[in-house]
Structure 1
Amino acid sequence: MPPSLRLIDAIGPFFRGYEKSRINWSKIPFEHLQTFGPDREAQWTRIRADLTHFCHEVRRIGYTAITLDDLSHLARHPLHEDDVAARIDAFREEFSRLFDLVRASGLGIYLTSDILPLTPRLEVSLGRDRAALDAYYAELVEQIFSDFPQVDGLILRMGESDGNDVRDPIRTRLHLTTPDHTNRLLRALVPLAEKYQRRLILRTWTVGAYRVGDLIWHRRTLARTLEGLDSPHFIVSMKYGESDFFRYLPLNRAFFRIPHPKIIEFQARREYEGAGEFPCPIGTDCERFAAELKQAENLVGFSTWCQTGGWHRFRRLAFLPEAGDDTWIRLNTHLIHGILGEGQTTDEVIRHHFGVERAAEVIELVRHAETVVRDLMYVREFASQKLFFRRVRIPPLIHLYWDCLFINHPVRKILRHLVRDPERALREGEAAFALFPRMVELARRADLPVDDLEHWRDLCGLLCLARRYYFLPFEEEIVSELRVAKSAYKKRWPKTVRQRYRIKLSFQPFRVKRRTLGWMTGLLLRKKRGYRIIDHVFTLHLLGFIYRAFKPRRKQDVPKFLRKSAMGIDSLFH
């Protein structure tokens, strides 16, 4: 039976006019939304028009419900500060109107929620009393179910909280630290979903913090967390792999281990692959996962993130009028729905979406684009390795992260240590880059954004040079070539024309000997999911204590993107 729950995030309309140079795309920027004054009506009128358009577009594709942020800005509490309470009242009024128009479009509504949202006054009042905090959160959940009958359910994110850059007075923090505590809270919340005939969806995504940080891949942690939760109103939502939305990840085996109703998550606006600036199609992965999932029990749906995810400067908004070109986001959104929802192939989805007249050119372009992503943006041999550090699986992409390309000596040393066949890595990269003339020609013939392919080509030219720096013997000539190429890239794609990657060049020596690097990786990294004795003794416990006791005090000791983006590197060592 085809999956009945087909979710898609609808936060794009709330980013209109949001002019920060680097945007946190993980949640609606509530501090940007007007709740008082003359600009409020104009802003919310535009949001309603955009959301109406969005709903029409995704409903036409076949999606059945949208997701919106979030519980914390719609639930009242007596301890809220006066200004916070006033803003929440305004949000409740405006979102109630939005909910009505979404329901009128024929779509369901799911609200997201981090566990746990607090304000300064609530933090002082409730402190660290777990029972009081659990009861407080249950009150918020029941209030949402009671006050907003338009809402079909809640989507709970328990393993990640607001990023370090969030300045909203309502901030979330990690509250659930163990599987048993998570289970107790869920056992209190599920009866509320049953009482109000709603759904409670738990996302297993975590960033590796605390003992529950391996929930996404550790079978015993997952089993203890879900023990006794067998309600039809409770659903488990999992990303397709054991890490974030990267390539080269096998399907998470938890889909075959737990009997609960479950949905699988995909990302159409690929946060680590250009965020819609150029084609990074995921049809092959979707087809592979769909074939494997035929053996999974109780798969009830899938979730597509078409706007959510990442800290970067790329600004393309999906499925909105006059918001720029969202061709590649739309392509992935159609691929996810067509393959997972309708049982189609990539080629069939393309024929349906682009029409038979352009299908041949688009199909060939998509196949070449997947090759470029896999063989040039990723280093295949490194990406294919299964490596774990503490409670997280190491991402298969380390030199490209959000909108940054890192070309430096530490990356070079790590890749040279972990990649045993550098000549193959060089050949694969050069062969993939050679596909660009054909791809540009295909885009022009199919009336697709040629400018996007040319930008991607110039970025990948830098990636080819970076690969030579990573894997060939060091020469000053390659340093000069990289600097010239960086300048040419910035000149060819000025900020006034389009958003571009930040090229982070640094050739300062990384003074760790190869033998020491081998010893460190052997100690800190493991190739199996299960923990070693050294992990129980050192990596999971003592190392966290050492980091917290001696972590860098100066800002310059930790790269800015590790300090400012997401939850910061500190979360890895809880």
Structure 2
Amino acid sequence: MDNSSIWVELNNFVTAGLCRGEDCETAIRRFCETRLSAVEPESMIAFLTLADDVIRELLYVREFAARKLFFRRLRVPPLIFPFWDRLTMSPTVRRVFRNMVENHVLCLNEAQTALRKLDTMRRLARAAGIPDQGLDFQYDTFTILALLRTYLFADPSDEPALIEELQARREAYRQAWKPRYAVKFTFAPPRRHLVRFAWIRRLLLREQRGYRLLDSIITLRLLSLVYPLLGRWRQRLVPKFARKQAMGIDALFK
């Protein structure tokens, strides 16, 4: 494909191979033979295995992503604070993850392990002749993701230093990369919590596909009537990009 990324070509090549009945590793070896003859297939397989690990361990918070949670008619997406074009964080997101993820230590360890694997990918690519375009950008982006995850589960005494480091990383990231992900975060705590999040979760979220009686009464009917009446409070609660991207969060309440 003219003017395409080598990784787009690899993805299409392997997908076509899988459709013909090849296994993934065979398709990768054949791609190296036909498109990257200077690269040892085993090095490419090792590189792609690391890449898969990094996505699973750092882009996703695996314990949260593995949970099947439903709100109204849709499953809650496994990605909450990384979006298509931005990385976000807020005290509300932090409350969600601290409440819904049990093994905080494992989540933090996975993030640091993923960064080490990404650094290994960079060294492997340069040693094996694998195209390394974008790896430095990915490393800087995922470093911010790792810091955001640390903020999710950090001890309150560590927060000031973490926030300072995040702000410095964001500024360096903005200067180094164009185009890039937008990095949007706020660390100001809400003025007050009217209700506990755990209570809201039990009320609004379910772990089964079928509807509960509670859903039929509250989440399906009552929320459809109340949500349009929330006005400016609704706009403060939901960021503009979340209302506009994809189908928009407002569609959840129709």
Q: TM-score, normalised by structure 2?
A: 0.90
CA gap 1:346/1:510 in 2 versus in 1, 3 angstroms: farther
SS at match of 1:451: coil
Q: Does 1:532 align with 2:216?
A: no
Per-residue CA shift, 1:434-464, capped at 9, x if unaligned? 1123201222234333231111111111111
Distance in 2 (alpha carbons) for counterparts of 1:464 and 1:490: 17
Distance in 2 (alpha carbons) for counterparts of 1:422 and 1:570: 31
Cα pair 1:377 1:463 within 8 Å, conserved = yes
Q: Does 1:343 align with 2:43?
A: no
Distance in 2 (alpha carbons) for counterparts of 1:410 and 1:335: 40
Match of 1:439 among 121, 124, 129: 121
CA gap 1:500/1:351 in 2 versus in 1, 3 angstroms: same
Cα pair 1:400 1:406 within 8 Å, conserved = yes
Distance in 2 (alpha carbons) for counterparts of 1:437 and 1:557: 37
CA gap 1:449/1:514 in 2 versus in 1, 3 angstroms: farther
Structure 1 residue identity aligned to 2:217: V
Distance in 2 (alpha carbons) for counterparts of 1:398 and 1:531: 23
Name the larger-Rg structure. Answer: 1
Per-residue CA shift, 1:98-148, capped at 9, x if unaligned? xxxxxxxxxxxxxxxxxxxxxxxxxxxxxxxxxxxxxxxxxxxxxxxxxxx
Per-residue CA shift, 1:172-210, capped at 9, x if unaligned? xxxxxxxxxxxxxxxxxxxxxxxxxxxxxxxxxxxxxxx
Match of 1:417 among 99, 118, 121: 99
Match of 2:5 among 323, 326, 337: 326
Structure (1/2) with the larger strand percentage: 1
Which has the higher mean CA deviation after the structures are superposed, 388-397 or 328-337?
Answer: 328-337
CA gap 1:457/1:514 in 2 versus in 1, 3 angstroms: farther
Cα pair 1:552 1:558 within 8 Å, conserved = no
SS at match of 1:545: helix
SS at match of 2:196: helix
Match of 2:172 among 476, 488, 492: 488
CA gap 1:551/1:532 in 2 versus in 1, 3 angstroms: farther
Structure 2 residue identity aligned to 1:503: V
Distance in 2 (alpha carbons) for counterparts of 1:463 and 1:489: 12
Between the aligned residues of both structures, percent identity stands at 38
**What is the number of equivalent residue pairs in this alignment?**
248
CA gap 1:458/1:407 in 2 versus in 1, 3 angstroms: same
Distance in 1 (alpha carbons) for counterparts of 2:205 and 2:191: 20
Number of the residue aligned with 1:462? 144
Distance in 1 (alpha carbons) for counterparts of 2:245 and 2:61: 24
Structure 2 residue identity aligned to 1:486: R
**Residue 332 of structure 1: CA displacement?**
2.1
CA gap 1:556/1:523 in 2 versus in 1, 3 angstroms: closer
| Consecutive unaligned residues in structure 1, runs of 5 or more | 1-318
Structure 2 residue identity aligned to 1:353: F
Distance in 2 (alpha carbons) for counterparts of 1:380 and 1:448: 28
Number of the residue aligned with 1:472? 154
Match of 1:451 among 104, 116, 133: 133
Equivalences for residues 30-429 of structure 1 within 5 A: 319=1, 321-322=2-3, 325-339=4-18, 341-355=19-33, 357-429=39-111
Structure 2 residue identity aligned to 1:390: R
Number of the residue aligned with 1:522? 202
Structure 2 residue identity aligned to 1:362: M
Distance in 2 (alpha carbons) for counterparts of 1:566 and 1:547: 19
Distance in 1 (alpha carbons) for counterparts of 2:76 and 2:190: 21
Distance in 1 (alpha carbons) for counterparts of 2:56 and 2:15: 19
Per-residue CA shift, 1:228-275, capped at 9, x if unaligned? xxxxxxxxxxxxxxxxxxxxxxxxxxxxxxxxxxxxxxxxxxxxxxxx
Structure 2 residue identity aligned to 1:541: R
Structure (1/2) with the larger helix percentage: 2
SS at match of 1:332: helix
Cα pair 1:417 1:514 within 8 Å, conserved = no
CA gap 1:381/1:565 in 2 versus in 1, 3 angstroms: same
| Consecutive unaligned residues in structure 2, runs of 5 or more | none
Per-residue CA shift, 1:395-422, capped at 9, x if unaligned? 1110101111012211111111100110
Distance in 2 (alpha carbons) for counterparts of 1:553 and 1:384: 31
CA gap 1:533/1:334 in 2 versus in 1, 3 angstroms: same
Per-residue CA shift, 1:312-367, capped at 9, x if unaligned? xxxxxxx3x33xx512222222232222x112222111111122643111100100
Structure 1 residue identity aligned to 2:155: P
Q: Which has the higher contact order (CA 8 A, sep 6+)?
A: 2
